[in-house]
Amino acid sequence: MKIGIIGLGLIGGCLGIDFRAAGHTVYGLARKEASCQQAIARGIVDAASTHIESLCPCEVIFVCTPIATIVSMVKQLAAALSPTTIITDVGSVKAAIATEATQHWPQFVGGHPMSGKSEAGLEAAEAGLFQGNPYVITPIESADVHTDLAAVEVIEQLAKQLGSRLYRCAPHAHDRAVAWISHLPVMVSANLIEVALREPDPQTRALAQHLASSGFRDTSRVGGGNPELGLMMAQYNQAEIVRSLKRYQQAIADTIGYLEAEDWAKLSEKLTQTKAGRSLFVEARPDPSAT
């Protein structure tokens, strides 16, 4: 299959490596000629260009640019491609993208391969990044829009070739689920750092900084990540993040209530449930072939 990849960063680069290894022909598109040359030199793509028309031969195109640019990229593609081409994206929010992109291109299929690493950019691209990790495909099935199921299956077949665990759900269900497990944790974690930084007594603040160890390190990790990514999540998944934050706010208020009332039975029940409940999130790893 001829596959186009727009945006030769970490995700685009990793897709190129794995798709070429699976026998596909990969066409890269980047803004800078230097990225094209680098991608060709590293064997990440078969060909690369800065001109959108170079993707005309492709049967499937993966848009791997930042969330804010995906829809405008689909618009540009719409003027250049033959109507059978399938366009998909890899953005970490789906409702805001899939609905609008589908208006511009009926053969659009929203997707989210949930893989990453701490390093960014083409330099960090490697084989097998998606192996064993979730890949969510989000067809639209509303009253007036219906994503073409044949197109969905093409993307799912490609995701299987990456070794991903496949999930199919509505864009809103994806956004609600990732609010819980990805976006809310960023807000929860960032605010932990913020309040600790704002301890008014300088000696206690310095002591806390010196005493912090693995517990603080882990709980604060995602809140100390890339601010642009956090902001983009908030902008594009605002309603779901607010919903999850409000439920979280209530749970924090309940905790304060238990502590002030010395209701140790309630606090103990909460901590016992969270210990048991965590395993549902960190151990739930079904067989990918079952989906």
Residue ranges in 174-203 that form contacts with a copy of itself under rule CB under 8 A: 174, 176-178, 180-182, 184-199, 201, 203
Q: What would the DSSP string read from start to end of 66-112?
A: -HHHHHHHHHHHHTTS-TT-EEEE--S--HHHHHHHHHH-TTEEEEE
Nearest to 67 by CA among 238, 244, 245, 220: 238
- Which CB, 149 or 207, lies closer to a copy of itself? 207
Contact between 281 and a copy of itself per CB under 8 A: yes
Least distance (Å) between residue 225 CB and a copy of itself: 7
Which positions from 251 to 270 touch a copy of itself by CB under 8 A, shown as an x/- string?
xxx-xx--xx-x-x--xx-x
- Which CB, 34 or 242, lies closer to a copy of itself? 242
CB-CB contact of 185 with 282 (8 Å): no
- Which CB, 25 or 191, lies closer to a copy of itself? 191
Residue ranges in 119-148 that form contacts with a copy of itself under rule CB under 8 A: 133-134, 136
- Determine the residue type at 125: A
Q: Tell me which of 41, 150, 210, 290 binds a copy of itself, using CB under 8 A.
A: 210
Contact between 40 and a copy of itself per CB under 8 A: no
Contact between 226 and a copy of itself per CB under 8 A: yes
Nearest to 11 by CA among 106, 111, 103, 130: 130
Six-digit token string for 282: 């960190």
Q: Which residues contact 254 (CB under 8 A, 6 or more apart)?
A: 270
- The Cα angle at residue 225 between residues 180 and 99, in degrees rounded to 5: 50
Contact between 221 and a copy of itself per CB under 8 A: yes
Q: Tell me which of 5, 36, 101, 114 binds a copy of itself, using CB under 8 A.
A: 114
Contact between 225 and a copy of itself per CB under 8 A: yes
Six-digit token string for 167: 């999930």
Contact between 63 and a copy of itself per CB under 8 A: no
Contact between 105 and a copy of itself per CB under 8 A: no
